[in-house]
Structure 1
């Protein structure tokens, strides 16, 4: 647990490709451990942040292991984005009856770690009235552990993200921190927050870099400058390749001059687009497809002037990581509010603790279980 000028510490579950982790890092959190099941997402995390301790593991296996107790009382924040299919509008919305529901596992881990704060994100569907009782159950269980908590729905575009992406957010804190957490403003953007760029403004340079020129670029830019993007959809590992969502989403993309029937290949090392007819819509009425890197910009990764966050795996695997991510700017904004409350609750006279809490490598028994760990985390957060 942090003190004085030391970094605030966190454990992140269902970390995905690191959207929430990146935003929380920018807010000031130092990640002690990130748990993620998908091998491609783990490769992405390790590639971009070699210093992070990434455990490729089913969360349900981890909480049953001895390792889950080794950071007890040493963590400021437990964060993550548990699987969304139990609550997604695109699914059956089985909630607590869905075997992929990891909220109970998250609460068990909170009991084991005893963090001072918790931040969990999920899809907007969780805020529907049909899940009122389920959200209340989660609140009551956290209150039994000694936390105060609240649910809010946040819109990513309010935080400068060029996309309509509503998410449900749970923040919980121990009482001495919660009294410093402004529940009226924590979910609102700061007054100096700039409005999001349109798709055209955001992607103009990258479209030119891909070879979209002349009238084709002008026609695309005119359409793409009308609005921000609809919600990116990561899709399911069980159903087909990467595209930009169901029919209604594809129509919204088409209105912005973007073809939603697939995801384009990145230009080669010489900057050439391999298949301009398919990927850029040259000679067709489809318009250009997005590349993974462009989708990442729409998700709030890779702002101009910052080192690019790279996604590992082949195109479909990489795109799904992007589409399922939690936008880093939103995570940063909420993370800053959490840190402000943690700091306000900290005794002024406390000095920096020289002890650094390093999590030992997981034991062989935990890793031995991974092959059978299973668990379908189709809808990563944050990830």
Structure 2
């Protein structure tokens, strides 16, 4: 169930928010974001364009900052006041596609995340990263142990640290992500494992409407035939390979390495680049009618990532595509967020119940305490009557 507005009773601060994939999912799960912190200016523009115009996000602040230089005090929160601290810390230190330097990588922000946990003392912590952090088991085992030990010293209990596959949560894409959830002891026991919640959504089903709209908007003769050919090809496949956002150090946007492009080709999609949106298309031959099939637009890539259709991306095409490709799928964040929300809610109610019971015991104790010593009421009444009689005489 999606909770927003007044029903969103638990607060959240998110670091490394990117274009808002995790934030969108947690928002749908019921969390009221106080701040989204992100270093990339284009991503911050995306967050502002969506959050500041939507009243359901309340007074959520978008903060463009380098997390290593950011001060938790600037949030204006007292220790223990925040319900959830969440974030998708940079993945290159642990990615199979990188050098896997882990803690030796200058981009590793796990230490800063743990510092913020110590400074803010949230009731719950959620950290998302690539599967490589957990696989292979031996490579980062010692580093994972250090993270767990640090959290446990701060009185957190690990709910789980496992790999969730986006395909199992309604995302038409193979995208395994390592998810760590830790909670204060009084909430930990209420947390339940996140089970797969949806049947597989295929690329054909996810893109059917938008792809038809693109061909129809072009209006070239025979567009219906080209569209049908694409749909027939897409139906032969299932979900998409992992979207790759890449980095600013490399060239323009495409859909990944050779193996990924081949997988996209089997779905009728050309992976050699990203298409312009229909209203901006200047080369139908390149974007729609290539022998390799149509290219994806940024909006279609966002659909593959599980973003709602209303979420808009700022910046030029390549920058916008990178925001999408590097995002955490909102449906997965929503599924995990709902379990955290439920555990916080159950823990809060239990604490309130205990408090009420303790108050009731105090009241009962007060009622059973003997009254101050002194003569019985009957003796007081008799003495007053005798006094009146004496005055009359």
Question: 5+ unaligned residues in a row in structure 2: which ranges?
Answer: 1-5, 53-58, 217-222, 354-393
CA distance, structure 1, for counterparts of residue 186 and residue 91 of structure 2: 31
Cα distance change on mapping 1:298 and 1:71 into 2, 3 Å: farther
- Picking from 139, 147, 159, the partner of 2:148 is 139
The residue matched to 2:182 in structure 1 has which SS?
strand
- Picking from 203, 213, 216, the partner of 1:209 is 213
CA distance, structure 1, for counterparts of residue 8 and residue 108 of structure 2: 35
Shift of 1:286: 1.3
Aligned to 1:176: 186
CA distance, structure 2, for counterparts of residue 86 and residue 317 of structure 1: 22
Q: Is the 8 A contact 2:8 2:31 kept in 1?
A: no
Aligned to 1:237: 248
Cα distance change on mapping 1:6 and 1:208 into 2, 3 Å: closer
CA distance, structure 1, for counterparts of residue 8 and residue 256 of structure 2: 43
Question: 5+ unaligned residues in a row in structure 1: which ranges?
Answer: 352-383
CA distance, structure 1, for counterparts of residue 196 and residue 178 of structure 2: 15
1:78 has 2:85 as partner? yes
1:266 has 2:268 as partner? no
1:161 has 2:174 as partner? no
- Picking from 14, 24, 32, the partner of 1:30 is 32
- Which has the greater radius of gyration? 2
Counterparts of residues 351-362 of structure 1 (less than 5 Å): none
Aligned to 2:297: 291
The residue matched to 2:92 in structure 1 has which SS?
coil
Cα distance change on mapping 1:215 and 1:347 into 2, 3 Å: closer
- Picking from 40, 43, 58, the partner of 2:42 is 40
CA distance, structure 2, for counterparts of residue 292 and residue 28 of structure 1: 27
Query: When you count helix as a share of all residues, which structure comes out higher?
Result: 2
CA distance, structure 2, for counterparts of residue 328 and residue 34 of structure 1: 15
Aligned to 1:116: 123
Q: Is the 8 A contact 1:89 1:125 kept in 2?
A: yes
CA distance, structure 1, for counterparts of residue 184 and residue 23 of structure 2: 22
Q: Is the 8 A contact 2:15 2:36 kept in 1?
A: yes
Aligned to 1:381: none
Aligned to 1:188: 195
Cα distance change on mapping 1:118 and 1:274 into 2, 3 Å: same
- Picking from 97, 114, 123, the partner of 1:90 is 97
CA distance, structure 2, for counterparts of residue 119 and residue 17 of structure 1: 17
1:326 has 2:336 as partner? no
The residue matched to 2:70 in structure 1 has which SS?
helix
Cα distance change on mapping 1:278 and 1:5 into 2, 3 Å: closer
Cα distance change on mapping 1:71 and 1:266 into 2, 3 Å: farther
**In the comparison of the two structures, how many residue pairs are matched?**
332
Q: Is the 8 A contact 1:46 1:52 kept in 2?
A: no
Shift of 1:70: 3.5
Q: Give the alignment's Cα RMSD to 1 decimal.
A: 1.8
Moved over 6 A (4+): none
Q: Is the 8 A contact 2:172 2:305 kept in 1?
A: yes
Q: Is the 8 A contact 1:180 1:341 kept in 2?
A: yes
CA distance, structure 2, for counterparts of residue 259 and residue 19 of structure 1: 25
Q: Is the 8 A contact 2:129 2:178 kept in 1?
A: yes
1:224 has 2:228 as partner? no
CA distance, structure 2, for counterparts of residue 85 and residue 6 of structure 1: 33
Q: Is the 8 A contact 1:75 1:115 kept in 2?
A: yes
Q: Is the 8 A contact 2:269 2:293 kept in 1?
A: yes
**Which has the higher mean CA deviation after the structures are superposed, 67-76 or 34-43?**
67-76
Shift of 1:6: 6.3
Q: Is the 8 A contact 2:215 2:224 kept in 1?
A: no
Shift of 1:274: 2.0
CA distance, structure 1, for counterparts of residue 78 and residue 251 of structure 2: 40
Shift of 1:349: 8.1
TM-score normalized with structure 2 length: 0.81
Shift of 1:189: 2.1
Cα distance change on mapping 1:5 and 1:276 into 2, 3 Å: closer
- Picking from 141, 149, 157, the partner of 1:148 is 157
CA distance, structure 1, for counterparts of residue 8 and residue 126 of structure 2: 20
